[in-house]
């Protein structure tokens, strides 16, 4: 999304009103991120982009989000990013289907370029630290046990085609990773899954089918932080490094949830 200024917001929205809305958007996103709640473009428009007797058009919404992104970077050095900005692996270096891609500076990845959709997830990330500094920080974190398990769980979901049924994931965590099903110290399968959902590394969603008793079945997939903070290409490299093997293009597309 291009950088823009309040003065560029047209269609009857004054600079004063635009500034007020941008401030509301920033406070809303900051609060939602601090409380580990999901933020979508749809929610931003309905909760923070409100003005009496006026409907904000989609084009104005995109511009206002662009201004908020610019101000988060200038004022706090935070990158306000959505899942539509996630790095992807592109083999032809030009495009994939009808989607355009541009190189990411200093990386072999490319970034998919398109406008945010109503379902996009927005989060705040500090992308400023150098790679070595980030590695050092992660090595000294007190919750490294959980971080390591996060990568293993996400890697398992990737190898399962990007989704995994709730029961299957719980079985993998308890029987193969040795995480207790129940524990008195509040660290067990259920508590870890809840934490990973709250932090945005996992997303839990309803499956179309029901059990024979008409009970709802759930599945897990990548959360916005898995896509934006870790990055699916990096997760793919991690999985390949663990097994010391190389996947074919069709396998990579399936693991990363790319429809053919």
- pLDDT tens for 182-199 read 776 777 888 889 889 888
Contact 111, 88 (CB under 8 A): yes
Rounded Cα distance, 232 and 72, in Å = 25
- % the chain with pLDDT above 70: 71
Rounded Cα distance, 219 and 167, in Å = 8
pLDDT confidence of 27, banded at 50, 70, 90?
Answer: very high
Long-range Cβ contact pairs of 55-63 (< 8 A, separation 24 or more) = 56/13, 56/21, 57/11, 59/11, 60/9, 60/10, 60/11, 60/13, 62/1, 62/115, 62/116, 63/4, 63/8, 63/9
Identify the pLDDT of residue 92. 45
pTM of the predicted model over 0.85: no
Rounded Cα distance, 196 and 27, in Å = 24
Identify the pLDDT of residue 62. 83
- % the chain with pLDDT above 90: 11
- pLDDT tens for 41-75 read 889 999 999 887 777 888 888 888 888 988 988 88
Most confidently modeled of 16-20, 107-111, 237-241?
A: 16-20
């Amino acid at each position: 999304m291009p950088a823009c200024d309040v003065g560029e917001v047209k269609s009857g929205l004054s600079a004063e009103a635009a500034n007020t809305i941008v401030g509301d958007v920033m406070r809303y996103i900051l609060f939602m991120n601090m409380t580990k709640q999901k933020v979508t473009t749809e929610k931003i428009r309905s909760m923070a982009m409100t003005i009496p007797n006026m409907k904000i058009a989609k084009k104005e919404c995109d511009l206002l989000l662009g201004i908020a992104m610019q101000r988060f970077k200038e004022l706090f050095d935070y990158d306000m990013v959505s899942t539509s900005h996630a790095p992807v692996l592109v083999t032809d270096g030009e495009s994939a289907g009808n989607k355009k891609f541009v190189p990411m500076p200093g990386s072999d990845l490319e970034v998919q370029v398109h406008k945010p959709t109503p379902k996009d997830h927005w989060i705040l990330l500090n992308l400023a630290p150098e790679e070595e500094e980030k590695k050092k920080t992660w090595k000294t974190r007190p919750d490294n046990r959980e971080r390591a398990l996060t990568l293993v769980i996400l890697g398992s979901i990737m190898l399962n085609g990007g989704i995994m049924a709730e029961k299957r994931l719980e079985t993998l965590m308890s029987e193969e990773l040795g995480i207790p099903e129940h524990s008195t110290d509040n660290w067990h399968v259920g508590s870890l899954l809840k934490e990973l959902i709250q932090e945005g590394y996992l997303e839990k969603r309803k499956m179309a089918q029901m059990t024979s008793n008409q009970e709802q079945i759930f599945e897990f997939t990548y959360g916005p932080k898995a896509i934006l903070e870790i990055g699916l290409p990096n997760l793919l490299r991690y999985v390949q490094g663990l097994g010391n093997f190389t996947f074919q293009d069709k396998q990579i597309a399936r693991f990363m949830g790319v429809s053919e």
